[in-house]
């Protein structure tokens, strides 16, 4: 069954998976969505016996139907290799009454590695399939983790270059250090004076600039995206939800057809949307619990049916969730609008105009799969300390937001369904906040001294990704105003 892709904002001609991956964003500003979500065509019992790579193929082949078996398996095997520090790729850890799905065992110790390890291979394969001769310029905005994972994935990949914009004062010290020390002759990192939403809006504006695209083409360049707006980022994320469910099934923790809840710390909505896609493929998922930090625009959306970004932007200890415009929510809006592209476009236009839109009662009634929750900074810190003291398990701030939201949800509802929490980053990435939560005596300590203390406290070896940036030289120090992002790109590309 061939799956094609269409924009959320118009009924334009459909494109293949490889074309959607290459474009990143549709020409009308919409996001590419599959024209159908395919059902898993192997039994869950069979999948439970597969390793991560085998299972990734069974999921991705259903979405990327214009890739040959050899092309797709080559991409998968190159992505999920020894750069992950555990053979299982995504371990499930049973601690403090939940199963933590550790998605941070890749090269940059964050869940973005799960998709950004494979995206460069999908993209270069797509370019060959479509006879693209231009250099592909990966243009990306990051709230902390996507940037480093994309840089690591695309560094020195032939036929590509990558430019990453990040909020200069809106990421952790380790996140920034990881990016500005990135090697690779084709990599550029730029800090901006605004926040993540400003960076994301600037990137989207460049994608939608037809005159810029024309001039780039003349110079032999074309844009693509490594953000989760790219369907080549989203589909690989579906895999680990199928993986988590079938591991529990294979271990006898759950019985056949028994539902499992997923709790996902959420900013741009891509990660939890992948869980929703897994459910629609036939995985028995109960509730999808959407966990927000103090930037709780998504919590308010699920409570009221109104998406309203007109609020104070708060810098928190979970910066990858410091987002007020959740781009991937557009894919869900399109679905609950009955795949009405015009209705979706009207809502997105309202969001960019007045900063808000309201669901119809019929649309809101289709959100029963989702539950919203949020955790304050204090509650996040308390949760890190609670889980550590109860079980010895140390988690990062984003995972702690999800864990705190799950604790509240369970107490409020009495729901005892077995639950998986997406653990999206290593605690080493946010050592300052994590260690201060465990014991106030660590407040004010040097970032790298804290890393050593975290190693003692957690009993977990310091990841190579952290060790290698201790003494690495800063290679990227460009900072620009938000309004100068396009000028900066043109300068980098020699235009």
State the catalytic residues. 112
Q: How far apart are CA 205 and CA 341, in angstroms?
A: 20
CB 396 within 8 Å of CB 144: no
Q: How far apart are CA 137 and CA 331, in angstroms?
A: 24
CB 235 within 8 Å of CB 56: no
Q: How far apart are CA 113 and CA 104, in angstroms?
A: 7
495: which 2 tokens?
């235009």
3-class SS of residue 256 = coil
Residues 6+ apart with CB under 8 A from 469: 174, 177, 178, 181
177: which 2 tokens?
């250090």
Residues 6+ apart with CB under 8 A from 93: 99, 100, 102, 393, 423
Q: How far apart are CA 160 and CA 167, in angstroms?
A: 24
Q: How far apart are CA 401 and CA 322, in angstroms?
A: 12
Max Cα separation, the chain? Answer: 61
Q: Which residue has the tokens 């850890």?
A: 93
Q: 3-class secondary structure for 81-126?
A: CCCCCCCCCCCEEEECCEEEEECCCCCCCECHHHHHCCHHHHHHHH
């Amino acid at each position: 069954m061939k799956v094609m892709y269409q924009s959320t904002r118009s009924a334009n001609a459909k494109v293949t998976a490889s074309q959607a991956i290459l474009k990143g964003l549709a020409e009308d500003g919409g996001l590419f969505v599959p024209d159908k979500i395919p059902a898993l065509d192997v039994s869950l019992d069979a999948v439970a016996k597969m390793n991560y790579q085998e299972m990734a193929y069974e999921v991705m082949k259903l979405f990327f139907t214009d890739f040959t078996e050899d092309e797709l398996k080559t991409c998968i095997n190159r992505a999920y290799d020894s750069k992950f520090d555990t053979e299982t790729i995504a371990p499930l850890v049973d601690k403090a009454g939940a199963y933590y799905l550790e998605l941070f065992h890749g090269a940059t110790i964050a869940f973005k590695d799960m998709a950004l390890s494979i995206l460069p291979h999908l993209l270069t394969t797509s370019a060959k399939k479509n006879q693209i001769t231009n250099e592909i310029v990966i243009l990306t905005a990051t709230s902390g983790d996507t940037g480093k994972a994309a840089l690591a994935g695309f560094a020195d990949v032939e036929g590509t270059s990558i430019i990453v914009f990040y909020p200069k004062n809106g990421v952790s010290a380790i996140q920034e250090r990881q990016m500005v020390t990135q090697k690779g002759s084709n990599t550029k990192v730029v800090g901006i004076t605004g926040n993540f939403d400003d960076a994301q809006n600037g990137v989207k504006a460049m994608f939608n600039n037809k005159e810029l695209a024309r001039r780039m083409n003349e110079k032999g360049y074309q844009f693509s995206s490594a953000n989760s707006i790219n369907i080549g980022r989203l589909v690989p994320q579906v895999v680990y939800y199928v993986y988590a469910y079938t591991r529990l099934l294979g271990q006898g923790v759950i019985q056949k057809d028994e539902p499992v809840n997923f709790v996902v710390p959420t900013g741009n909505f891509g990660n939890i949307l992948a869980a929703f896609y897994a459910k629609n493929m036939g995985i028995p998922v109960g509730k999808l619990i959407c966990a927000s930090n103090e930037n709780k625009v998504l919590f308010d959306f699920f409570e009221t049916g109104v998406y309203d970004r007109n609020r104070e932007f708060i810098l928190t200890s979970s910066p990858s969730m410091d987002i007020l415009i959740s781009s991937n929510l557009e894919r869900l809006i399109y679905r609950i609008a009955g795949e009405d592209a015009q209705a979706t476009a009207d809502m997105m236009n309202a969001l960019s105009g007045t900063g808000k839109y309201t669901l119809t009662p019929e649309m809101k009634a289709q959100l029963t799969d989702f539950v919203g929750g949020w955790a304050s900074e204090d509650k996040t810190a308390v949760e890190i300390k609670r889980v550590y003291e109860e079980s010895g398990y140390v988690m990062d701030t984003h995972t702690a937001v999800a864990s705190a939201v799950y604790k509240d949800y369970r107490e409020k509802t009495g729901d005892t369904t077995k639950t998986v929490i997406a653990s999206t980053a290593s605690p080493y990435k946010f050592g300052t906040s994590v260690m201060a939560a465990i014991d106030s005596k660590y407040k004010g300590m040097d970032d790298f001294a804290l890393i050593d203390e975290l190693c003692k406290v957690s009993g977990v070896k310091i990841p190579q990704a952290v060790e290698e940036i201790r003494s690495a030289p800063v290679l990227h120090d460009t900072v620009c105003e938000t309004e100068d992002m396009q000028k900066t790109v043109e300068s980098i590309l020699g235009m």
